[in-house]
Homo-oligomer: A and B are copies of this chain.
């Protein structure tokens, strides 16, 4: 009987662990109890901490946008694609993070393997970014030529800027998302603290800077 109880315990522990993993990857403290048994105030406490930390970090996007206010005033059409290009970086980063968190948890990867992941994630991100870049470019050119929406006379360099910035943002997202769990582990934190919202927040600010930098390079002399 002793053996059977131990096995049950192991299974209970595994199920509990994976519940914690999913909740933490969702960007909150683990609940440690079923949803319906947690009190209202306790629930707020478990969620507000990370939500506020993410909000304060995300404020850097407002700071970054202040720098580019001139560009936005000059070409409001640029602002239109901010959510689209920014979210793509967060999405690819979230994929990479979930892969690495799990591989570290299962000890398929050690801390010293970080560079092996980096040299895989960078080309993976470049290919994924190119796929999205082509879709983004095509969408702008199509919408313009089918007269669904007019992005103005400089729609072609605009489409090029959106396309190329997607390559850069998705590649950066994959790389940053895969390195974050290693970095957390290196400085003594649990790599599973690297939640999807955490990665998205990290990538959002850089994504904005990449987008406006590429736009400035491509659109200088035409739209900007």
Contact = CB atoms under 8 A, between A and B. Distances in A.
A99 B55 contact: no
> How many protomers of this protein does the assembly include?
2
B106 A19 contact: yes
A55 B25 contact: no
A193 interface: no
A212 to B, nearest CB: 12
A184 interface: no
Contacts of A76: 69, 72-73, 76, 79
Contacts of A31: 99
A44, A62, A109, A139: residue with the most chain B Cβ atoms closer than 10 Å = A62
B55 A94 contact: no
A56 B139 CA distance: 10
Given A18-B14, A98-B25, A100-B35, A200 B87 contact: yes
Interface in A68-123: 69, 72-73, 76-77, 79-84, 86-88, 90-92, 94-95, 97-103, 106, 108-109, 116-117, 120, 123
Interface of A: 7, 10-11, 14-15, 17-19, 21-23, 25-28, 31, 34-36, 40, 43-44, 47-48, 50-52, 54-56, 58-59, 61-62, 65-66, 69, 72-73, 76-77, 79-84, 86-88, 90-92, 94-95, 97-103, 106, 108-109, 116-117, 120, 123-124, 127-128, 131-132, 135-136, 139, 149, 170, 195-197, 200-201, 204, 208
